[in-house]
């Protein structure tokens, strides 16, 4: 009976930890997706207007800003 209490306590502790970490588990994706999308959009604009590194640099900076903005909002909320 004592081992069941220990297992239950460990399970409760683990589930509590996972619930507390859940909002932060996707921060990497929230940062990576805007960066990748903006870089591809900048690449497309560079090909369309034949202005090789200009739009990819501008859009990657905007993607970085968007990624860090989402990161800041997620961390500040908690």
pTM assigned to the model: 0.74
The helix/strand/coil state of 6 is helix
Find the mean pLDDT for residues 5-17.
81
The parent domain of residue 35 ranges over 2-77
- Non-local (6+) Cβ contacts of 39 within 8 A are 56, 59, 60, 63
Tabulate helix, strand, coil % of the chain (nearest 5): 90, 0, 10
Domain total for the chain? 1
Please give the Cα distance from 48 to 70 (Å, whole number). 29
Is 18 within 8 Å of 3 (Cβ atoms)? no
Could you report the per-residue pLDDT of 25-68, keeping only the tens digit for each?
A: 888 898 999 999 999 999 999 999 999 899 999 999 999 999 99
């Amino acid at each position: 009976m004592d081992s069941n209490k220990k297992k239950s306590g460990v399970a409760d502790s683990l589930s509590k930890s996972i619930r507390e970490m859940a909002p932060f588990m996707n921060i990497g994706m929230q940062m990576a997706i805007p960066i990748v999308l903006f870089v591809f959009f900048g690449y497309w604009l560079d090909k369309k207007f034949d202005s090789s590194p200009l739009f990819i640099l501008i859009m990657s900076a905007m993607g970085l800003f968007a990624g860090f903005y989402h990161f800041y909002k997620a961390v500040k909320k908690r």
